[in-house]
Structures are given as structure tokens and as C-alpha cells.
């Protein structure tokens, strides 16, 4: 990406992603997850009780799932909705992409 959100090849502004209006919230949540993971590393390093570590792993997993669901909701309400309004192959591609993302989340 070039300066000010432009694609140098197209020389036109790139539209914002669906999560753009929540970017700072997502970054804050991911920083908290990062801190939780560092805490997990300390717990393992300090030879803490297995169940306590597993409890924290579960908390980190839930936090990441929450971020993923928020991003998915933003993607569906912005990117997919815009593509559906446009119709045609773009809409079909966005719907396939969203379905694949949902399938990955369900499997994880």
C-alpha cells in the first residue's frame, strides 16, 4: 500500500475494510491476548499447576474467538453486504470467501 491508503498500481484510494471503524478496539483486545499469552509462557516457565495453565489457555482461546467473531460480523455487514448489493461474480466470490472463513472458525 502506498501513502494515505492508496494502491500505487491503481492510483485510486483503497476502500476501508469492514473492521476499520473498530480497528483500535481490535488492537486493544489483541494486545490483551498478547499479554495473556506472555502470562501463559511465565506460568509454564514457573512450572505452575497444569489445570491453572489450561484455564488460562481456555481464556485466551475465548478472547481470540471473540475477536474472530467481531471481524466476521464486520466483514459480513460491510464487505459481503456491499458485494451482494453489487451482485454478479463479485457477490458470489465474497459469499464463498465468507463461507470458507466461517467453516475455518467452526473447525477451530
Q: Of 56, 71, 60, which Cα lies nearest the Cα of 105?
A: 71
Judge whether residue 100 has pLDDT over 70.
yes
Query: Residues 79, 18: contact at Cβ < 8 Å?
Result: yes
Confidence of residue 27 (pLDDT cuts 50, 70, 90): very high
pLDDT digits (tens, 9 = 90+) for 54-66: 999 999 999 999 9
- The reported pTM is 0.74
Amino acid at each position: 500500500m502506498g501513502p494515505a491508503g492508496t494502491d500505487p498500481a491503481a492510483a485510486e484510494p483503497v476502500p476501508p475494510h469492514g473492521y476499520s471503524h473498530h480497528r483500535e478496539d481490535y488492537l486493544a483486545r489483541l494486545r490483551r491476548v498478547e499479554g495473556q499469552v506472555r502470562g501463559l509462557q511465565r506460568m509454564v516457565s514457573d512450572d505452575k499447576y497444569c489445570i491453572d495453565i489450561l484455564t488460562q489457555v481456555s481464556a485466551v482461546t475465548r478472547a481470540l474467538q471473540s475477536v474472530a467473531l467481531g471481524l466476521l460480523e464486520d466483514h459480513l455487514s460491510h464487505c459481503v453486504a456491499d458485494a451482494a448489493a453489487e451482485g454478479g461474480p463479485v457477490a458470489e466470490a465474497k459469499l464463498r470467501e465468507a463461507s470458507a472463513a466461517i467453516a475455518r472458525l467452526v473447525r477451530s
